[in-house]
Amino acid sequence: MTIQSSNDDASQVLADAHYPTQSIDWLTRLIGFDTVSRHSNLALIEDVKAYCEQLGLSVDLTFNEAKNKANLFVTVPAGANADHVNHGLVLSGHTDVVPVDGQDWTSEPFTATIRGDKLYGRGACDMKGFIACALTMLPQAVKLSNAGQLRRPLHLALSFDEEIGCLGAPLILADLKARGITPDYCIVGEPTNMAMVVAHKGIAVYRCRVHGKSAHSSLIAQGVNAISYASRLVGYVDTLAEELSTRNGALEDGDEIFTVPYSTLSVGTIHGGTATNIVPNLCEFTFDYRNLPHMTQDDVLEPIQAKIAELNAQMQARAPETGIELMQEESVPAMTDNDSAELQSLIAALTGDDERHKVAYATEGGQFTNAGIPTIICGPGSIEQAHKADEYVELNEIVRCDGFLQKLLNSCAVN
pLDDT, one tens digit per residue, over 140-189 is 999 999 999 999 999 999 999 999 999 999 999 999 999 999 999 999 99
Residue in 34, 96, 163, 397 annotated catalytic = 96
Q: Is 96 a catalytic residue?
A: yes
Classify residue 77 by its DSSP letter. P
CATH topology of domain 202-332: Alpha-Beta Plaits (3.30.70)
- pLDDT over 90 (residue 41): yes
- Please say if the pLDDT value at position 20 is more than 50: yes
Residues 175 and 59: beta-carbon distance below 8 Å: no
123: nearest Cα among 112, 135, 137:
112
The conformational region for residue 350 under phi > 0 = left, psi -120 to 50 = alpha, else beta, is: alpha
- Local confidence band at 1 (pLDDT 50, 70, 90 cut-offs): very low
8 Å CB contact between 361 and 396: no
**pLDDT band, residue 83 (cuts 50/70/90):** low
Is 4-199+334-411 assigned to CATH 3.40.630.10? yes
Average pLDDT over residues 278-302: 95
Task: Please state whether beta strands 154-159 and 323-332 pair in parallel, antiparallel, or not at all (unpaired).
Answer: unpaired
Higher confidence at residue 54 or residue 361? 54
Helices (H), 216-340: 226-249, 298-318
Which residue, among 92, 178, 154, has the nearest Cα to 409 in the 3D structure?
154
Domain boundaries, the chain: 4-199+334-411, 202-332
Contacts 24+ apart (CB under 8 A), 163-167: 163/37, 163/94, 163/96, 163/97, 163/98, 164/37, 164/96, 165/330, 165/331, 165/332, 166/332, 166/362, 166/363, 166/364, 166/366, 166/367, 167/64
Query: Is the pLDDT confidence value at 2 over 50?
Result: no
Which one is catalytic: 162, 337, 391, 397? 162
High-pLDDT (> 70) share of the chain, %: 92
- d(Cα 395, Cα 401) in Å, to the nearest integer? 10
**DSSP annotation string for 93-156:** EE--B---TT---SS-TTS-EEETTEEESTTTTTTHHHHHHHHHHHHHHHHHHHTT-BSS-EEE
Beta partners for residue 72, in sequence order:
61, 158
- Averaged pLDDT, 396-411: 96
Taking a C-beta distance cutoff of 8 angstroms, is the pair 271, 284 a contact?
yes
Q: Mean pLDDT score of the chain, rounded to an integer?
A: 92
Q: What is the pLDDT of residue 246?
A: 83
162 is annotated as an active-site residue? yes
Cα separation, 305 vs 325, in Å, equals 10
What digits encode the pLDDT tens for the residues 190-204?
Answer: 999 999 999 999 999
* Of the listed ranges 79-93, 297-311, 340-354, 367-381, the one predicted with least confidence: 79-93
